[in-house]
Structure 1
Amino acid sequence: MMFKKKIKLLLPLLFCIAIANAQTNIYKFKRQISGVNTIWHSISLPDELYKNANAGFEDLRIFGVSGKDTVEVPYLLKQRADQINTKEVSFKQINQSTNENGFYYTFQAPAGSTINQINLSFKQTNFDWQVTLAGSNDNKEWFGILKNYRILSIQNTDTDYKFTKLKFPDAKYQYFRIAIKCNVHPHLIAAKLNKTDTVGGVYKQANSLNYHLSNDAVQKQTVIEVNLKNPVPLSYLKLKAQSDFDFYRSFKIEAATDSFKSEKGMQYNYTGIYDGTISSLEETAFSFPNTITSKLRITIQNNDNKPLRISNLELKGNAYEIIARFEDLKANYAIYYGNEKSTAPSYEIEKFEKKIPTNLTTVSVGNEEKNPAYTIKTEKPLFENKIWLWVLMTIIIVLLGWFSFKMLKN
């Protein structure tokens, strides 16, 4: 009788475990979540998670177990990147003049307008000019904004580079005057006055990195191979590049996607994530789409120029954050991941994001564990099984012997 009672008490527990396992048994790894005490929480993804999760996070799930119930927690995955808002300011050109010092263009902006960028377009494709920018509220008394600001355009078979954007601190004037010091008519085609605001994102510095630099005299390239301990999100690169003279070189950034062994050792396949120009005229810092990787390759095209001196580099990436809705505060929650065949979940809360509270407390995420409920096993190919190989060889030998005997008998 006692045995039967124990069985009756044990059956519901086994049933609950079976239901929970049915939902979580396709994920290889899990991390416990602690500190859930309200409906809405934020979760910062640890760097170690990226190694075993899918690159696009399609396999990321949050499950909670409470008594007989197992619930899937809906969430939003947020990337805390820079938010850049550019507003074009209307204006009219009221003056164009020239003297022995250069060419002058005066623009009138609406009263009370603030700008911090002017984009210029010229008919010429090759030039190197100095620009001075001044502002005024009465078109009589002028105040300096930029002095000896260099703009440049180079177009040939090797290079197509243009730097004609004037950047300066916020300026609130009704009139702006550009003075271009040059010996030929600049032929200004268009100008755009902009006000750009940037809300800084959340970045994580890439630690434990090392890099190897090599100069290829045959290909006329400088190649920098960057290695990190674990895959992490990367979206920003800053190079400390120096030269005795001004420079402008085309370059590209590539991220390793996978690897394979060869006679020459471990080889990597790369995909491009940035193409641009590194120049002494601009800050040598570059932003690109957030990419999770542990290896980068940076290639600088030197052509016939002396290689640049690279003394340091900085890498960082935008942090990923989960905003999750926990409906049962008594449940035990965990993050599950590690399934290459998973498809991205679709939750309704993404349609009602504006109703989510802004000030959220962060819950803690535990260390990575192997999911004990994981049951999917990778089956080895048939011919990797030694028993099948022996059976197949025996059948082949018997058939060969039988045919040989038939031939000898005939």
Structure 2
Amino acid sequence: KDAVSHLIFSNPDKLAINNVSFLVKNTDVQKRARLSGSDDKENWYVIKNNYLLHSMKSSDETTELKMLNFPLSDYAFFKLEIDDNWKLPINILKVGYYDTQKIKGLISTFECPITEQKDSLKTSYLKLELPELMFAKKLRFEVSGADYYSRYTTVMVRKERVNKKKKTKAYFETIASFDLNSNSNNEVNLGKISTKELYVNIENRDNRPLRVDRVEASYLNRYLVVNLKPQVDYVLKFGDLKLKQPDYDIVNFSNQIPEDTPRLKHDQIISLQPELIETKEKGLLDSAYLIWFVIGAVGVVLAFVSVKMVKEIGK
């Protein structure tokens, strides 16, 4: 009716679901759809409007599985209305849903080696050196030396700037501050930073200095979602800190990306930048012929002086 296909399916146990999947015969069309719910199949209430059904084809099978996400609902019946635009409908074979659960985001951690710790003027100074440029969002400190403590702590990075006299000056910029406290987990949020060195100042006041046994950095794992074709080799290039975030259409359809998207593992990361070899310009003293000439001249002068001194001694 009115060039709209109606697909009604039941949820007999009235389970709270937030997705529905359907198996469709391969087709190369785009259609708009709307999802609504009802408890009696007479009074319908819209759940989500303006779905875009597309890419409903598989290169390996004659069918394709598509998933639609929507706000959590527990209606006894659902109705998917597909606008056919006065064209033939698509062939939907099966309908179902995936029972999903939320888990905490996975976190990657790495240790920040403590290369220096000095205690002077009621303040402890620490230097953390990483083997290479690393990205971190949090730091966690493990300390000892007191049962109860509360110390104001700052985390800094070393930067450089050129002054009016064209000279490079180093300075320290504070990126985070917190209280190192025996009643907390001693974590501090750094925001987003990539660095090889971190500097930490702990104000001890009149207390004995604490000993920092270990510092651990961490960041929340992020994932890149991309539609890849099978049996094709792909190369992911990254590392340019000056690049801006791209503006893609997929942002508007993020709620339609399946939550059970499979994860892929990459091969070894290879640096594409050639190693910089410092080449020193040859100066006047770097010439081999000039050096031998100087040595010869000095030898001649020494021989002349020696012969003259022998004659003076003989007289």
Structure number with greater Rg is 2
> Is the strand fraction higher in 1 or 2?
1
Higher-RCO chain (CA-CA 8 Å, sequence separation at least 6): 1
TM-score by length of 2: 0.45
TM-score by length of 1: 0.36
